[in-house]
Structure 1
Amino acid sequence: MPLPHWHTYDHYGFALVAVLGTLVAVLLIQWFIQRSPWAGWAQSLRGVSPPFINVIGVVFGLTLAFLASDTWSAHDRAMNAVYREADGLRSIAALADALPAPLGGRLRAAIGSYASASADEWPHLAQRREAPEVLARADALLTLIASAEVASAAGANVQALMLSKASDIRAEHDLRVALSKTHVNPLKWLGMAFLGFLTLVSVAVVHIERPRAAFIAIVLFAFAAAPTAAIVLVQGNPFQTPTSVTPAPIEAIAAGLG
């Protein structure tokens, strides 16, 4: 297998940037309001009403929630695609049992061959790649189902159902491949980082007359925001750790037909 490109694991890098960037922002703000040449000017900003924090904080929270929803939705869609793919294979295998030998055995062997290749594709998906062998075996399975031999033995209705299931299998495979190639959108996360920085600044301004309270407040917000953003970022590819989608349903079919 070829070596992964640098952007294969870009979401881990963005997670590290989120944590370190938040730390730098906290230290920078604290230096600015206490030790910088502009500390005196910063003290003149006292008097900002505490509810002002809610305005920016809510916008930041909603932005992070939407980004988290996109990430976890991709994970759920990938998991559902795996189970639907496995269900399609299981359905065709059940219909193949009614076919006479040796045609039924050939069809079950084609299903097992595809299932094995599909289950072995996970390392490729973790590297945001597609295994050409899976498509080749999917084509072989579809060609066999569409053959006149299957039409004669199974009948037009059963063959049409098999073809529909085979088409669904390819669609679910294409979906999980597409989800594996989804990258972090830097523009979205840059906007979230900007809102997070503004929230830190607003917290500091509200507590500007009490430097220790300001420091504690921005540190608490940083501890809440940075790890949450990092957790969302490290789940950027549903086929990588720590929450990798499992190929167990497809592996079970491959084992059963092996």
Structure 2
Amino acid sequence: MLQTSWQTYDHYGYAMAAVLGTFAATAALQWLIQRSRWAPWARSLHGVAPPFINIIGVLFALTLAFLANDTWSAHDRALRAVYKEADSLHSLATLSQSLPTPLRAQLRAALVGYASASAAEWQLLARRAESREVVERADALLVLLASSEIATAAGANVQALMLRKVSEIRDERDQRVALSQTHVNPLKWLGMAFLGLLTLLSIAVVHVDRARAALVSIVLFALAAAPTAAIVLIQGNPFQAPTDVTPAPIEAAVADMSECSGQATAFRPAAPC
């Protein structure tokens, strides 16, 4: 159980480790250069030119920027996948208007059923899991649209467009599931943490003969680096708080159809037509 929880929320643990580790390293460095028995030796290292900090600092900043870009681009891809999935559902709902009443009602009921299952899957996505029901609903939708009844009623061209839209729905759903199950890469963050520690050491060495300047410089760097790394880390899963992607676009795409589908949904109760 503990292992499962860690695999689900590992990015929060890494964020806490980043904050606590940074300030622990800050306190250890202050103790080393001011109060430890090695303080005289540490102060003998003075003379390092201040521009030396820029070399390691730039490497650290670039590494953190690349990691932040990976995280935020994953969030953007998840949001785009949800909107494309919703757009495909809306397109199918629009195309269904040309179908005879029984087929139209059957197709819209299938669309509402898929959207309801997808919305319910969000709680599983937050736990890095997926719902088998969504796969079954998507398969049923594909079978329905590939049927000879749809081909006869809608025509070959419209049916081909419908099949393309349901394929897009399946692809985008697979995309969001894959993004929800992406974990923090420990090696990348270990490299970033190592460069952060080297940056702290370089700041301490440059200011080692001036205790107050060393304290201010190290604390300012810690205040800049640790919260930034934590903010990036806690967004490791696009479907978890605080910046979670919601199923609202998918719900809105079929909300009007739920009134006539004969199905109650999580976002609108069924009503007779």
TM-score normalised to structure 2 length: 0.92
Give, in angstroms, the shift of residue 195 of structure 1. Answer: 0.3
Q: Which residue of structure 2 lines up, in the alignment, with residue 151 of structure 1?
A: 151
Q: Which residue of structure 2 lines up, in the alignment, with residue 242 of structure 1?
A: 242
Any unmatched runs of 5+ in structure 2?
259-273
Q: Which residue of structure 2 lines up, in the alignment, with residue 211 of structure 1?
A: 211
Q: Identity over the aligned pairs, expressed in percent?
A: 69
Does residue 34 of the first structure (1) align with residue 34 of the second (2)? yes
Q: Output the amino acid matched with 2:79.
A: M
Give, in angstroms, the shift of residue 125 of structure 1. Answer: 0.3
Q: 1:187 aligns to what SS in structure 2?
A: helix
Structure 1 residue ranges (4+ consecutive) displaced by more than 3 angstroms after TM superposition? none
Does residue 192 of the first structure (1) align with residue 215 of the second (2)? no
How big is each residue's C-alpha offset from its partner over 1:44-75, in whole Å with a ceiling of 9 and x where there is no partner? 11110000000000000000000000000000
Aligned equivalents of 2:250, 2:65: Cα separation in 1:
32
Aligned equivalents of 1:248, 1:4: Cα separation in 2:
28
Q: Which residue of structure 2 lines up, in the alignment, with residue 229 of structure 1?
A: 229
The aligned length equals 256
Aligned equivalents of 2:4, 2:210: Cα separation in 1:
50
Q: Which residue of structure 2 lines up, in the alignment, with residue 8 of structure 1?
A: 8
Q: Which residue of structure 2 lines up, in the alignment, with residue 103 of structure 1?
A: 103
How big is each residue's C-alpha offset from its partner over 1:77-118, in whole Å with a ceiling of 9 and x where there is no partner? 000000000000000111111001201110111111101111
Q: 1:143 aligns to what SS in structure 2?
A: helix
Give, in angstroms, the shift of residue 4 of structure 1. Answer: 5.5
Give, in angstroms, the shift of residue 36 of structure 1. Answer: 1.6
CA-atom RMSD, angstroms? 1.1
**Which moves more between the two structures, 94-103 or 170-179?**
94-103
The 5-angstrom pairing of residues 35-184 of structure 1 reads 35-184=35-184
Q: 1:109 aligns to what SS in structure 2?
A: helix
Contact map agreement 2:89 2:254 (CA 8 A) in 1: no
Q: Output the amino acid matched with 1:112.
A: V
Q: Which residue of structure 1 lines up, in the alignment, with residue 253 of structure 2?
A: 253
Give, in angstroms, the shift of residue 254 of structure 1. Answer: 3.6
TM-score normalised to structure 1 length: 0.97
Any unmatched runs of 5+ in structure 1?
none
Aligned equivalents of 2:4, 2:97: Cα separation in 1:
41
Q: Output the amino acid matched with 1:7.
A: Q
Contact map agreement 2:204 2:218 (CA 8 A) in 1: yes
Aligned equivalents of 1:86, 1:250: Cα separation in 2:
4
Aligned equivalents of 1:27, 1:128: Cα separation in 2:
36
